[in-house]
Structure formats: structure tokens, C-alpha cells
């Protein structure tokens, strides 16, 4: 991968957001800067062309271009700033309708086209997996996520990682620590609680993990107490999002009959 490709992926990944339901989106005002546009007036024209392209493809543009206006205080008065939450597909259409003379536009077109295709394949492949396969996949992601979160937390000043992770569990599980979760699930001493979760429960924890890391970075959190508080609050936010969506609380989800460790051992025996 050359330096230009690294820069391209980084510039668009750095401004990517994740909502409370795990959906990716980009803000138009931030994308405007990334695409080297200086005036909103000109960039809004590109957005309008992209919306037209979306409509002509018989796709509901409201699913991809969501209004995200906000009020900004300037002096003694406030004014409305127009903005949009954009899906990956919306970003792709914007790049297709932008000024091709800008070098970054061609890079954006390639990036969002590839990422859109990757997501389509990922979603299709994921849905074809069995529940146990989904568990293995989600567990792999949580391991990577926790590794990255630990690194970020350490840089923020965290030393007691048991307390830090328990703060997140308490927020998500209505006050339960890792030990409380293990006891409720009937696990043996030191048995990994994440290995004993279904795919839905793992996905909720993955969202807690990734959003905590992002919050610590975005808010420049410094100090163990603040990092723990951030983890707790994010866990609580994820819990509230599940509740508002009408989902099952994580502590009410069933514990699988077999841990992932047992499943892996079963697969090894089958291969012999």
C-alpha cells in the first residue's frame, strides 16, 4: 500500500462516526473539508446533485442523506447551521458528483466505492453464518477491540484495568461487574464471560468497547477516574439505546450451551 492510499483511508476513517445502533455515518461539513471544498454554498450544490442521482436510481434518499442541522451561538445571537448525516453510499455519490480536478476526489471515489462493496459482501456473508459462527466472528472483533481500548486507556492514565472494564460492564449491565455476570451465567472461576455470550450480547459489548475508545480519544480524557467514568457512561448509553429500540437487556439474553472454547475444542476433535 503506497502513502497516498494510507492517507486516503485515514482521512475518511478519521471523520467517520458510529451512531447508537452501530451504523456508520459521515457529517457533510466534515466531508466538505476532507474533499478540499472551502465554501458550503458550492459543496451544497454537490450534495444536491448527489441526492438527484440517488433519486434517479429509485433509492429513497432520506435513508442516506439525513438532516443534522444545529444551532450555533455567535455573539448574542444564534443561527442555524445546515448539515447532513451521510451514509457510505451518500458519500460515494457526492464524490461522483464533485469536482474531478481535485486529486482527493478521485481518491474518495475509489475509497467509498470499495468500502461500499466490502460492506455489501460482509453483510451478505454474515447473515449466512450460523449462530456459533457469528459468535466466533463477534468474539474475534471484541478481542481486537479490547486490545485497542486497553492501549488507549493506558495512554489516558489507566492502571487498574479490572476496575476500568468493570465500569463499562456496570453501565451496560445495570450495575453488574464481570464477576456478577460470571456468577449469573454459572461459569467456573476465571472462565471468560465473553466466550459465554451469544452473538447479540457480544455485539452490544463490541459497541460499548469501540465507542468508549472513540470517546476517550475525542474528549482527550486524562486520568484513571475520568476514563472509568467515561466507560461507565458509554455502557449506560448503549444500554439505553437497546431499551429505546425495544431490544432485550443484555443480562436477560440466554447463555449459550457451550462456550467458544468448548466449540473450538469440538471442531479440533472433528478434524482428527
pLDDT of residue 271: 55
Average pLDDT estimate for 202-215: 91
Asked whether 39 and 99 are in contact (CB, 8 A), the reply is: no
User: Predicted confidence band at 7 (pLDDT cuts at 50, 70, 90)?
Assistant: very low
Partners of 73 in beta bridges: 78
Which tens digit of pLDDT belongs to each residue from 46-55?
999 999 988 8
Which tens digit of pLDDT belongs to each residue from 77-110?
788 889 999 998 899 999 999 988 887 887 888 7
Q: Given its phi and psi angles, is residue 36 left (phi above 0), alpha (psi -120 to 50 degrees) or beta?
A: left
- The better pLDDT of the pair 210, 114 is held by 210
Which tens digit of pLDDT belongs to each residue from 16-50?
888 766 778 999 999 999 999 999 999 999 999 99
Task: From 14, 34, 2, select the one nearest 104 (Cα to Cα).
Answer: 34
Residue spans per domain, the chain: 3-127, 131-271
This prediction has a pTM of 0.59
CA–CA separation, 117 and 149 (whole Å): 28
Q: Given its phi and psi angles, is residue 107 left (phi above 0), alpha (psi -120 to 50 degrees) or beta?
A: alpha
Amino acid at each position: 500500500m503506497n502513502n497516498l492510499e494510507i492517507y486516503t483511508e485515514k482521512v475518511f476513517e478519521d471523520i467517520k462516526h458510529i451512531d447508537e445502533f452501530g451504523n456508520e455515518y459521515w457529517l457533510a461539513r466534515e466531508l466538505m473539508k476532507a474533499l478540499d471544498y472551502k465554501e458550503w454554498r458550492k459543496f451544497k450544490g454537490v450534495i444536491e446533485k448527489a441526492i438527484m442521482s440517488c433519486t434517479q436510481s429509485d433509492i429513497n434518499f432520506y435513508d442516506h442523506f439525513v438532516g443534522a442541522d444545529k444551532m450555533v451561538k455567535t455573539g448574542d445571537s444564534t443561527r442555524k447551521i445546515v448539515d447532513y448525516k451521510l451514509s457510505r453510499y451518500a458519500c460515494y455519490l457526492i464524490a461522483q458528483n464533485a469536482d474531478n480536478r481535485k486529486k482527493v476526489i478521485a481518491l474518495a471515489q475509489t475509497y467509498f466505492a470499495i468500502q461500499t462493496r466490502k460492506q455489501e459482501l460482509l453483510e451478505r456473508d454474515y447473515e449466512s453464518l450460523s449462530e456459533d459462527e457469528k459468535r466466533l466472528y463477534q468474539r474475534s472483533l471484541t478481542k481486537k477491540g479490547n486490545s485497542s481500548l486497553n492501549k488507549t486507556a493506558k495512554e489516558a492514565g489507566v492502571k487498574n484495568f479490572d476496575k476500568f472494564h468493570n465500569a463499562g460492564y456496570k453501565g451496560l449491565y445495570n450495575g453488574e461487574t464481570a464477576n456478577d455476570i460470571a456468577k449469573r451465567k454459572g461459569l467456573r472461576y476465571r472462565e471468560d464471560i465473553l466466550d459465554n455470550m451469544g452473538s447479540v450480547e457480544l455485539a452490544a459489548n463490541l459497541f460499548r468497547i469501540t465507542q468508549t475508545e472513540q470517546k476517550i480519544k475525542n474528549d482527550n480524557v486524562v486520568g484513571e477516574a475520568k476514563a472509568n467514568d467515561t466507560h461507565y457512561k458509554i455502557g449506560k448509553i448503549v444500554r439505553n439505546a437497546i431499551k429505546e429500540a425495544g431490544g432485550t437487556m443484555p443480562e436477560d439474553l440466554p447463555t449459550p450451551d457451550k462456550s467458544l472454547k468448548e466449540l473450538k475444542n469440538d471442531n479440533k476433535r472433528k478434524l482428527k
